[in-house]
Amino acid sequence: GENVEQHPSTLSVQEGDSAVIKCTYSDSASNYFPWYKQELGKRPQLIIDIRSNVGEKKDQRIAVTLNKTAKHFSLHITETQPEDSAVYFCAPRNRDDKIIFGKGTRLHILP
């Protein structure tokens, strides 16, 4: 079956430093790779996504990189700020439109 793994499960970084979260998937036919941010008590919200025909996408302090050969994609957050503290999920879309979420990464921004 489909397998989506996300690492690390918890990440603490000093304010202003960078954070990187990696997502590994098993379906080689997956073609859409989003990252969601979930704050406590709220619904997940899309922060950035990438499609299989692109290797990297950037939106201000946030970037996503994709390695289709190795079947993984990563979320990069630079110049981290207190409001970046949240849980982040990857959710690649597979060939059957089934969307499995990674188990999440709890990001703590330390003052």
Partner 1 sequence: NAGVTQTPKFRVLKTGQSMTLLCAQDMNHEYMYWYRQDPGMGLRLIHYSVGEGTTAKGEVPDGYNVSRLKKQNFLLGLESAAPSQTSVYFCASIPGGLQETQYFGPGTRLLVL
From 12-20, 62-70, 78-86, 93-101, span contacting partner 1 (CB under 8 A): 93-101
Rounded CA-CA distance 5/72 in Å is: 9
Going by the DSSP 8-state scheme, the letter that residue 26 receives in this structure is -
Rounded CA-CA distance 7/17 in Å is: 18
The least distance separating partner 1 from the CB of residue 32, rounded to whole angstroms, comes to 5
From 16-24, 52-60, 78-86, 99-107, span contacting partner 1 (CB under 8 A): 99-107
Of 7, 20, 71, 101, which lies in the binding site for partner 1, with binding defined by CB under 8 A?
101
Question: Which residues, in sequence order, are bridge partners of residue 72?
Answer: 24, 67
3-state helix, strand, coil in the chain (%, to 5): 5, 55, 45
Q: Is 96 in the site for partner 1 (CB under 8 A)?
A: yes
Binding mask 54-83 for partner 1 (x = CB under 8 A): ------------------------------
The least distance separating partner 1 from the CB of residue 16, rounded to whole angstroms, comes to 28
CA distances from 67 to 52, 102, 111 (A): 9, 17, 33
Per CB under 8 A, residues contacting partner 1 are: 32, 34, 36, 43-46, 49, 51, 89, 91, 93, 96-104
